[in-house]
Amino acid sequence: MKPELGRALPEAMGAIHFIGVGGSGMSGIARVFAERGHRVTGSDRFDSEVVESLRHSGIQVFLGHDALHLAGVDTVVFSSAVRETNPEYLEALDRGLTIIHRSEALRWLLQGKTPLAVAGSHGKTTTTAMLATALEAVGIDAGCVNGGVISQWGVSSRAGSDDLFVIEADESDRSFVGYEPAHVLITNIAPDHLDFYGTLDAILEAFEAFARTATDSIVLCADDSGTEELSSRLSGAARIVTYGVSPQADVIMSDVVAGPAARFLVRHRGESVPVELSVAGRLPALNATGVIALLIQLGLSLGDAAEALAGFQGADRRFQHHGTLSGVRFFDDHAHHPTEVAAALETARAVVGEGRVITMFQPHLFSRTQYMAAELAAAFAAGSDHTIFLDIFGSREDPIEGVTTQLILDKLPTGTSYDFEPDWDKACGLAVSRAQPGDLVLTMSTGDLYQIVPQLLAAKRRRDGH
In the prediction, which pLDDT does 4 show? 81
Residue pair 94/66 in contact by the 8 Å Cβ criterion: no
Residue 147: strand pairing partners? none
Strand ranges in 3-74 using DSSP code E only, listed in sequence order: 16-19, 40-44, 60-63
Distance CA 45, CA 86 (A): 11
**Residue 162: predicted pLDDT:** 97
pLDDT per residue, tens digit, the chain (466 aa), is: 777 878 899 999 999 999 999 988 899 999 999 999 999 999 998 888 889 999 998 999 999 999 999 999 999 999 888 989 999 999 999 999 999 999 999 999 999 999 999 999 988 999 999 999 999 999 999 999 999 889 899 899 999 999 999 999 999 889 899 999 999 999 999 888 877 888 999 999 999 999 999 999 999 999 999 999 999 999 999 999 999 999 999 999 999 998 788 999 999 999 999 999 988 888 999 999 999 999 999 999 999 999 999 878 877 777 888 999 999 999 999 888 898 899 899 989 988 989 999 999 999 999 989 999 999 999 999 999 999 999 999 887 889 999 999 999 999 999 999 999 999 999 999 999 999 999 999 999 988 888 899 999 999 999 998 7
Q: Which helix (H) or strand (E) holds 446?
A: none
What integer pLDDT is reported at residue 245 of this predicted model? 97
Question: In terms of DSSP bridges, do strands 320-325 and 328-333 run parallel, antiparallel, or are they unpaired?
Answer: antiparallel
Q: Is 58 left (phi over 0), alpha (psi -120 to 50) or beta?
A: left
- Pairing, β 251-257 against β 239-244: parallel
Whole-number Cα distances in Å, 356 to 139, 319, 348: 42, 16, 9
In terms of Cα–Cα distance, which of 44, 33, 113, 32 is closest to 74? 33
What is the model's pLDDT at position 160?
97
Whole-model pTM: value is 0.83
DSSP state of 457: H
Under 8 Å between Cβ of 389 and 361? yes
142 Cβ contact partners less than 8 Å away, ≥ 6 residues apart: 116, 132, 135, 136, 160, 162, 164, 165, 166
Q: Which domains does the chain have, with CATH numbers?
A: 16-101 (3.40.50.720), 112-309 (3.40.1190.10), 320-464 (3.90.190.20)
Structure confidence at residue 65 (pLDDT): 96
pLDDT of res. 6: 80
